[in-house]
A and B are shown apart, each in its own frame.
Chain A
């Protein structure tokens, strides 16, 4: 894999964008360009800024340039029996670690081990003054200064250009199986909640409308014990099953209609919106394929203590893809945007209309 540091080139591009007041659209592999509001501005390609800078398996830390392909990172980890704990989806071979962190996207394991943001230890960025600055670091515990690294995670590039990220990794467990059982919805969710109150090595869960699936990851003994407690049938080819869910290649996702992601209280009762539903994260994540209007979906998510994101839909719908913020929070977001990017040149409008 090519390893190259193009910080200076990127910094020069930012400087000239600042001078000419021209917005930049930060882009890694372009694999998440469907996500968020429509990208605008001149493309700032970070994909060439790539390479693993430091990976110390015994320290459980990897640091890589933002343009490093996600697959390169995962391959390096597998060699040492380690994984990214948040199971990030790729959505394309071109996915980079920078884009993954900028979107804070996490996969099936998220409900049990944590999201991308939980494993970000540090970052280096170019801010909206064109300065290269670093926060956090490569150690597990660090409370010096505000947690800018986690603030960058999920900010969709609106606060700065990610140059490098340091992530905590975890060992791959010795044993992994997936159990499945036929259930109707209410029983499925009940069972998942009951099991979550016992200390079992559950690492993923989903419900497809007919079957519940639970993945167990742990030591041999722990997995075997949990299997006895839970019951059900063991699924063969479990890896590809979860892989397809993570990458939205599962049959459920095969539709031309809008795809919504609802992040809600895990024990929320089935939401009354017509469409197809798919449950993950013990009920806390619900995928919906539906033609229901934006305000209906977002209203329902809000009533369930959460928020709804339009994942895939028409360009027109993408304007409102993220749940509106309360006026006070919206104002605070604008102020934070100003704190990092006073001229508003990074990914303007990608997250919300005004910044």
Chain B
């Protein structure tokens, strides 16, 4: 099959200006938020109706052409990186908020709607959409569903999978499926959960019904500084043990604090080894009660300073530093590499120590930003891609961190997905029977393997090659370090 036949047939489905194939036109699509992986697609197509998406997928299925769906391209695991012999299917034109229903507290939106745009649109009704990835200004709800994205408020309000009620999905064969319904559950298997987080491997999402929540009467954030990162880690456990589920509970280490402070002047204590940001929300009375408790726990766990934001403006400033942590780190190093493991919280001190030992070994600095409440780590490895071999060293270091997460009972990815980036580490987390089971699931939806090929689930062959070069699962690095 030639490129020209595909273009000709696509041209019958969408208008000319919705079809890009010149090198300079497709270049902006060559990577997602993880710019280390790049590829130019054969063609980019930007449909704007469900019927067009159906026709495009039918065509690709007939001609055996790979398809990669793309939202805003903010993904951090290379999930939306194009296939060089394939179609890049952009959902960017699906920008409508179709319907808001206050009684049912839902919004029906197209997949290209930005995460934050939903909360903005429903604000007049006193409602909001809870999952709030730091990229929420830019990332799309379609991408959020495909990655099962989280945010700083997931500890209390859950991930994308907990906050959606129905999706419309188009299979590679062009069939439109409605999954979920107007009720709280639906008949048959929980396909909604299966699709959520499936990284564009099972179908293309063309509509999402999200659940909305009433905006809490009050939200308040408390900042606590520590001279020792372990104490900060213990404080996190103490809050949870006290029966409080904060709306958000975030941690930053010294390098991240300093970078954020230089960037947005949030008033963070730059001499601290770690800070915790704890947001409590709810009714006025409840928030007042919880603030008192949280302050006590922070002090009892050895905080050197505990500050409660004095008003909404200061609350937003406290958060601004955290939400800008990635770009802030981006200013202090030519490049950074963001990891995304999740661990049982009690392993935090051991994992942090091990990361710092590895950091010295690889001679690469690490800034740590965590969704501490749910054990989701984002170590940011600082490097310079212009130095020969440094990216490779960074990747190897990153791989070790992920292996470490698996070894302590955690996972290689909490919210950013596997994409291409963590495909080798999937071989660490899953054995060949489990991977084969994943392939069987994929086969049930996409027999020809055309949707996002080469992502998310490695072939057994690939794992065999990877395994040959690496230490085996279960061998803890640095056994001499104290563990909890």
Q: Contacts A153-B190, A197-B105, A339-B443 given: A141-B185 contact, CB under 8 Å? A: no
Cross-chain contact B185 with A263 (CB below 8 angstroms): yes
Cross-chain contact B286 with A336 (CB below 8 angstroms): no
Which of B214, B244, B416 is the one whose CB lies under 8 Å from A199?
B214
Q: Contacts A134-B434, A146-B441 given: A171-B189 contact, CB under 8 Å? A: no
Cross-chain contact A150 with B186 (CB below 8 angstroms): no
Cross-chain contact A150 with B241 (CB below 8 angstroms): no
Cross-chain contact A117 with B434 (CB below 8 angstroms): no
Residue in A closest to B127 when the chains form the complex, CB atoms: A197
CB distance from A140 to the nearest CB of B (A): 4
Residue in A closest to B215 when the chains form the complex, CB atoms: A199
Is B74 in contact with chain A by the CB < 8 A criterion?
A: no
Interface residues of B in 182-219 (CB under 8 A from A): 182-191, 193-194, 196-198, 201-202, 213-217
Is B338 in contact with chain A by the CB < 8 A criterion?
A: no
Question: How many of chain B's residues have a CB under 8 angstroms from any CB in A?
Answer: 93
CB distance from A112 to the nearest CB of B (A): 11
How far, in angstroms, from A339 to B442 measured CA to CA in the complex?
9
Cross-chain contact B434 with A135 (CB below 8 angstroms): yes
Cross-chain contact A200 with B283 (CB below 8 angstroms): yes
**Contact segment of B62-70, B342-350, B471-479:** B342-350
Is B444 in contact with chain A by the CB < 8 A criterion?
A: yes
Cross-chain contact A340 with B190 (CB below 8 angstroms): no
Residue in B closest to A158 when the chains form the complex, CB atoms: B189
Query: Which residues of B lie under 8 Å from residue A297 when comparing CB positions?
Result: none
Which of B243, B376, B412, B434 is the one whose CB lies under 8 Å from A171?
B243
Cross-chain contact A154 with B213 (CB below 8 angstroms): no
Interface residues of A in 235-274 (CB under 8 A from B): 263-267
Total CB contacts across the A-B interface at under 8 A: 263
Cross-chain contact B148 with A264 (CB below 8 angstroms): no
Is A312 in contact with chain B by the CB < 8 A criterion?
A: no
Cross-chain contact A147 with B148 (CB below 8 angstroms): yes
CB distance from A93 to the nearest CB of B (A): 26
**Contact segment of A38-46, A70-78, A205-213, A302-310:** A302-310
Residue in B closest to A285 when the chains form the complex, CB atoms: B184
As a 0/1 sequence over residues 47 to 85 of chain B, the CB contacts with chain A under 8 angstroms (1 = contact) are: 000000000000000000000000000000000000000
Query: Which residues of B lie under 8 Å from residue A226 when comparing CB positions?
Result: 283
How far, in angstroms, from A198 to B217 measured CA to CA in the complex?
8
Query: Which residues of A lie under 8 Å from residue B162 when comparing CB positions?
Result: 114, 118
Is A323 in contact with chain B by the CB < 8 A criterion?
A: yes
**Contact segment of A3-11, A19-27, A57-65, A179-187:** A57-65
Query: Which residues of A lie under 8 Å from residue B198 when comparing CB positions?
Result: 146-147
Is B311 in contact with chain A by the CB < 8 A criterion?
A: no
How far, in angstroms, from A344 to B417 measured CA to CA in the complex?
32
How far, in angstroms, from A9 to B375 measured CA to CA in the complex?
36
Is B438 in contact with chain A by the CB < 8 A criterion?
A: yes
Is A311 in contact with chain B by the CB < 8 A criterion?
A: no
Query: Which residues of A lie under 8 Å from residue B437 when comparing CB positions?
Result: 127, 131, 133, 148, 339-340
CB distance from A26 to the nearest CB of B (A): 16
As a 0/1 sequence over residues 115 to 148 of chain B, the CB contacts with chain A under 8 angstroms (1 = contact) are: 0000000000111000000000000000000011
Which of B214, B346, B442 is the one whose CB lies under 8 Å from A59?
B346
Cross-chain contact B183 with A305 (CB below 8 angstroms): yes
Cross-chain contact B375 with A111 (CB below 8 angstroms): no
Is A196 in contact with chain B by the CB < 8 A criterion?
A: yes
Cross-chain contact A133 with B440 (CB below 8 angstroms): no
CB distance from A312 to the nearest CB of B (A): 17
Is B104 in contact with chain A by the CB < 8 A criterion?
A: yes
Which of B184, B188, B286, B374 is the one whose CB lies under 8 Å from A141?
B374
Among B126, B241, B415, chain A packs the most CB atoms within 10 A around the CB of B241
Cross-chain contact A147 with B194 (CB below 8 angstroms): yes
Query: Which residues of A lie under 8 Å from residue B445 when comparing CB positions?
Result: 332, 335
Consensus secondary structure, chain A interface = loop
How far, in angstroms, from A37 to B290 measured CA to CA in the complex?
48
Query: Which residues of B lie under 8 Å from residue A127 when comparing CB positions?
Result: 433, 437
Residue in B closest to A195 when the chains form the complex, CB atoms: B214
Cross-chain contact B182 with A154 (CB below 8 angstroms): no
Query: Which residues of B lie under 8 Å from residue A220 when comparing CB positions?
Result: 289
How far, in angstroms, from A325 to B202 measured CA to CA in the complex?
19
Is B356 in contact with chain A by the CB < 8 A criterion?
A: no
Cross-chain contact B188 with A329 (CB below 8 angstroms): yes
Query: Which residues of A lie under 8 Å from residue B441 when comparing CB positions?
Result: 146, 148, 336, 339
As a 0/1 sequence over residues 156 to 177 of chain B, the CB contacts with chain A under 8 angstroms (1 = contact) are: 0011011000000000000101
Cross-chain contact A224 with B285 (CB below 8 angstroms): yes
Cross-chain contact B193 with A117 (CB below 8 angstroms): yes
Is A33 in contact with chain B by the CB < 8 A criterion?
A: no
Cross-chain contact B290 with A137 (CB below 8 angstroms): no
Query: Which residues of B lie under 8 Å from residue A135 when comparing CB positions?
Result: 434
CB distance from B216 to the nearest CB of A (A): 5
Is B403 in contact with chain A by the CB < 8 A criterion?
A: no
Is A104 in contact with chain B by the CB < 8 A criterion?
A: yes
Q: Contacts A197-B127, A265-B183, A281-B184 given: A151-B444 contact, CB under 8 Å? A: no
As a 0/1 sequence over residues 337 to 363 of chain B, the CB contacts with chain A under 8 angstroms (1 = contact) are: 000001111100000000000000000
Interface size classification for chain A: 35 or more
CB distance from A54 to the nearest CB of B (A): 9
Cross-chain contact A143 with B288 (CB below 8 angstroms): no
Query: Which residues of A lie under 8 Å from residue B214 when comparing CB positions?
Result: 196-199
Cross-chain contact A115 with B184 (CB below 8 angstroms): yes
Q: Contacts A117-B190, A336-B189, A339-B437 given: A193-B283 contact, CB under 8 Å? A: no
How far, in angstroms, from A304 to B430 measured CA to CA in the complex?
42
Cross-chain contact A144 with B187 (CB below 8 angstroms): no
Cross-chain contact A305 with B182 (CB below 8 angstroms): yes
Query: Which residues of A lie under 8 Å from residue B282 when comparing CB positions?
Result: 199, 201, 218-219, 222
Cross-chain contact A139 with B410 (CB below 8 angstroms): yes
How far, in angstroms, from A76 to B126 measured CA to CA in the complex?
39
Cross-chain contact B243 with A172 (CB below 8 angstroms): yes
CB distance from A124 to the nearest CB of B (A): 10
Is B429 in contact with chain A by the CB < 8 A criterion?
A: yes
Query: Which residues of B lie under 8 Å from residue A197 when comparing CB positions?
Result: 102-103, 105, 125-127, 214
Interface residues of A in 163-178 (CB under 8 A from B): 170-174
Cross-chain contact B409 with A137 (CB below 8 angstroms): yes
Cross-chain contact B190 with A154 (CB below 8 angstroms): yes
Interface residues of A in 320-335 (CB under 8 A from B): 322-326, 328-329, 332-333, 335
Which of B104, B216, B411, B443 is the one whose CB lies under 8 Å from A144?
B411
Which of B102, B103, B125, B414 is the one whose CB lies under 8 Å from A143?
B414
Cross-chain contact B193 with A267 (CB below 8 angstroms): no
Cross-chain contact B342 with A140 (CB below 8 angstroms): yes
Is A110 in contact with chain B by the CB < 8 A criterion?
A: yes
As a 0/1 sequence over residues 310 to 346 of chain B, the CB contacts with chain A under 8 angstroms (1 = contact) are: 0000000000000000000000000000000011111
| 10 residue pairs A–B, Cβ–Cβ below 8 Å | A58-B346, A139-B414, A141-B150, A144-B418, A145-B429, A146-B442, A150-B194, A159-B189, A263-B181, A265-B104
State the B residues within 8 Å of A (CB): 102-105, 125-127, 147-148, 150, 154-155, 158-159, 161-162, 175, 177-179, 181-191, 193-194, 196-198, 201-202, 213-217, 237, 240-241, 243-245, 282-286, 288-290, 342-346, 371, 374-376, 409-418, 422, 426, 429-431, 433-434, 437-438, 440-445, 456-457
Q: Which 9 pairs across A and B sit closest by C-beta, in order of nearness?
A: A305-B182, A221-B285, A150-B193, A306-B183, A265-B182, A222-B286, A141-B414, A140-B374, A171-B243
Other than the known A148-B437, A263-B186, A329-B179, what 20 A-B pairs have Cβ atoms closer than 8 Å?
A: A59-B240, A59-B346, A111-B184, A131-B433, A134-B434, A141-B374, A142-B411, A146-B457, A151-B190, A153-B193, A172-B243, A174-B243, A193-B103, A225-B283, A226-B283, A266-B104, A307-B187, A333-B189, A335-B443, A335-B444
